[in-house]
Amino acid sequence: MTKNMLAAVAVIFVLGNLCRFGLPWWTIAPFAAIAIFLLPQQSGFMAFLSGLIAGALVWGLAAVLADNANGGMLSSRVGELFQGAGRGGILGATTLIGALLGAFGALTGQMAVDMTKTPKKNYYGKRKRNGKL
């Protein structure tokens, strides 16, 4: 993992934890996009991976803390609604949703970085023939 990736994961994690207090559940996606726009990655896959890790950490930690606060009562009852899914299944599904939300937000930020870059000269299909264009 690169230094930029670790910094992006940390920024997304901090902003994601701050957004739990009074902001909608989906706000981790724009925060991930902004974080990756400010700290661009080497590739789209690295941006996706950093958003995936940060989103899983934020939502997984929030789900586990909320589950432990009520003794697992809510997750077990919600699991009964989904045909017998246990506590682990509900917490895993919550973590997966958060991970994908952060990953696609980060990928959006990386695509915005790629769109705003100036293309290299002679990049789009122009070839030099005998030293001439």
Secondary-structure breakdown of the chain: helix, strand, coil percentages, each rounded to the nearest 5: 70, 0, 25
| Cα–Cα distance measured from residue 77 to residue 99, given in angstroms and rounded to the nearest whole number | 23
Kindly report the pTM of this predicted structure. 0.82
Is 128 contained in some domain?
no
Q: Which of 18, 11, 22, 2 is nearest to 106 (CA)?
A: 11
Is 13 contained in some domain?
yes
Main-chain phi, psi angles of 116, to 5 degrees = -90, -10
Is 41 contained in some domain?
yes
What average pLDDT does range 52-70 have in this prediction? 92
Tell me which residue range forms the domain holding 35.
3-116
Number of domains in the chain: 1
Is 122 contained in some domain?
no
Asked whether residue 119 carries a pLDDT value surpassing 70, the answer given is: no
Question: What confidence category does residue 89 fall into, taking pLDDT thresholds of 50, 70 and 90?
Answer: confident
Is 132 contained in some domain?
no
Question: What confidence category does residue 101 fall into, taking pLDDT thresholds of 50, 70 and 90?
Answer: very high
Is 108 contained in some domain?
yes
Is 96 contained in some domain?
yes
Task: Determine the pLDDT at residue 124.
Answer: 56
Which residue is associated with the tokens 């207090």? 21
Specify the higher pLDDT residue, 121 or 51.
Answer: 51
